[in-house]
Amino acid sequence: MMLLTLGWSRFWGRTRIRRYVWNHLSVLGDRFEYRGRGRELMIGFVLALLMVGAWGCLMYVVWLYVFHEKPFASFGLFDLFSLSVVLIGFPLAYVGHYAGLRYKLSRTRWRGIRCGMAGSAWRYGAIATFLQFANASTAYLLTPVVSVNLARPRIVNARVGTQDFAFAGRAGDIYGRYIGYYFLNIAAWIAAGIATFAAIGGTLESLGFSPDDFLKLLSRPNLSTVVVVLLIAFGAYLLFGLLILPLRCWWQAYLLRYLVTHSRAGNVLFATALSTWQMWGFLVLNYLILLVTLGIGWPWVMHRTMKLIAGQLWIYGAPQGSTIQQPTDLGPTYGEGLLDMFDVSGV
């Protein structure tokens, strides 16, 4: 369908996938429902396209009157548009992320009760942009601050009916683990780099190849060249999987456990014991599936992800159903245009 419709059927395809996935997930024996529509996603995308089109026209007018045949003539229309997209695209991606989450939640029901998300997507986009910029400027030493302060609005603004969520996390609680990960990660990359160069150089030398010979071989590849390249790629993947990924999982699993265990909804507490090695095994197999199937095996990956979430998320306490009311707010009428525009929506 994607081929026949040049990708436009993706809105309906995504909707069907969500209906399937949501309905196969349940909490306390009650399944989730997804009641979004493909048409809503398409409208959101078309509106985002129009917005980008309008921005493009504005840039054209600016270029025509400010840059064209003026002293800044070397700054072309394409340069101007690209720069503006980078400047506004970065914050807009976060706005789109939050707005997309709000749309998904507004179309999700549990026990017939609509979920939702309050708060401003623009505010979230502004905070996220500022935090990411600050993080990049400080060599990513602010990552715990970013993680906690971006998770907070996403959690506390989410609702199931009139039931809010609360989050009691603080960045200071997780800095110890992050600093350990930060420096160990640097060491791991250095070790991986040395191992890679030594392996490639050593292999080439043992096979009697000079780097020039290898480049010549690449310019006229035969079956053995392809096999060698595949082996090198597999070796690189193995190195990444054994050296870098476990460390990343050591941090990510800890962060996930922290965020989950510091969230609650009324008298319902959440917990997970997802371990580093559980996450590592999960990600390694996912990468392999995507690699071997050239990405087409993503439904399998998604299924595994949902199973992991369902198996590793525990709930303590039962919600008081009578106190959770149906909200009056119906949520946005269309969804995810920006998210789709920046191609980060996935499912």
Partner 1 sequence: MAARYYDGVTAEVQEVMLKITSQELVIYRPADSGVVARWPVADLSVLGDSHHEAVPPVAIRGSEARLVVEDLAWRKQLASLVPALKSLALEPVPVAPRLAGFSVAIVALVGIFWSAIEYGTEYAVPLLPYTLQAKLGETVLDELLADKEECQGRAGVTAINRLANDLAREAGYKHEVTVHIVEGGPVNAFTLPGSILVFYSDLIDQARDSSQVAGVLAHEIGHVVHDHPIKGVVRAYGLDLLIKVLSGGYSDILSTFGTGGSALLAMRNGRAFEREADATGVRLLEQRGLRADGVSSFFQQMLDKEPEDAATSAGIWSSHPPTKERIEATKRPATGRPAFSAAEWQALRNVCK
Residues that bind partner 1 (CB under 8 A): 2-4, 6-7, 10, 13, 16, 19-20, 23-24, 29-31, 33, 35, 73-74, 76-78, 110-113, 160-161, 163, 215-216, 218-221, 290-291, 294-296, 298, 319, 321-326, 343, 346
Closest CA to 215 of 204, 223, 206: 204
- Of residues 119 and 297, the one with the C-beta less far from partner 1: 297
Cβ proximity to partner 1: between 74 and 206 the closer is 74
* Angle at alpha carbon of residue 264, lines to 254 and 261, rounded to 5°: 15
Least CB distance to partner 1 at residue 281 (A): 20
Q: Smallest distance from the beta carbon of 183 to partner 1, in angstroms? A: 28
Whole-number Å distance between alpha carbons of 260 and 238? 31
**Count of all residues that appear for the chain in the document:** 347
Considering the complex, state which of residue 142 and residue 324 has its C-beta at the smaller distance from partner 1.
Answer: 324
CA distance 57 to 80: 12
Query: Nearer Cβ to partner 1, position 253 or 301?
Result: 301
Residue whose structure tokens are 């922290």? 258
* In contact, 246 and 276? CB cutoff 8 Å: yes
Within 8 A by CB and 6+ apart from 301, the residues are: 286, 289, 290
CB of 156 to partner 1, least distance (A): 19
Q: How far, in Å, are 27, 36, 159, 317, 335 from residue 326 at the CA level?
A: 18, 17, 11, 21, 21
* Nearest to partner 1 of 139, 212 (CB atom): 212
Q: Which is nearer to partner 1, 26 or 138 (CB)?
A: 26
Q: How far is the CB of 333 from partner 1 (least distance, A)?
A: 18
User: Is the Cβ of residue 20 or residue 197 nearer to partner 1 in the bound state?
Assistant: 20
Q: Measured from the CB of residue 178, what is the shortest distance to partner 1 in angstroms?
A: 26
Q: What is the three-class DSSP state of 160?
A: strand
Minimum CB distance to partner 1, residue 21 (Å) = 10
Q: Determine how many CB atoms are found less than 10 A away from the CB of residue 232.
A: 14
User: Residue 111 and residue 26: Cα distance in Å, rounded?
Assistant: 10
91 three-class SS: helix
- Structural tokens at position 307: 């199973």
Give the nearest distance from C-beta 218 to partner 1 in angstroms.
7
